[in-house]
Amino acid sequence: MTSSHIQHLTPKATWDFLQATPDAVLIDVRMEIESMYVGSPPRAINIPWYEYPDFEANADAFAAAVRSEVSSLDQPVLLICRSGARSVDAGKALLDKGFTRVINVLHGFEGDLDEREHRSTVNGWRFDGLPWGQM
């Protein structure tokens, strides 16, 4: 299955996909400190899309780091961030670099903000009760 666009899966569908697709690679594109202290899904490999203090993405370096985690550009690469926005940008960069199976985790790890500007209360990986760990 090849694609020139990013696919999107809900967190629950992502978990099911990961269980059914052992060669799939889950990349956590959040900054290292977010992944460490907020938590992350099992099997997630932290490769930040951007990092503190400059907050500027380097698409070439990101794609090269992801490339080092896969055996081919056709291997499924799933991307997760806090709310599903950074992972889309990162996914576009991977498609531009020749990756063919790029999947964004909708709503990310913490989900959208609620009316009180809190996360993990509306949607997202943690809200859906999926496995995760924290430093």
Check residue 59 and report its DSSP letter. H
Question: Token pair for residue 121?
Answer: 């209360």
Whole-number pLDDT of residue 58: 97
Indicate the length of the chain as a whole number: 135
CATH class name, domain 7-105: alpha beta
Domain ranges for the chain, please list them: 7-105
Helices 86-96, 59-67: inter-axial angle, 10-degree rounding: 80
pTM of the predicted model as reported, rounded to 2 decimal places:
0.95
In the predicted model, what is the mean pLDDT of the chain? 95
Residue-wise pLDDT for 29-87, tens only, equals: 999 999 999 999 999 999 999 999 999 999 999 999 999 999 999 999 999 999 999 99
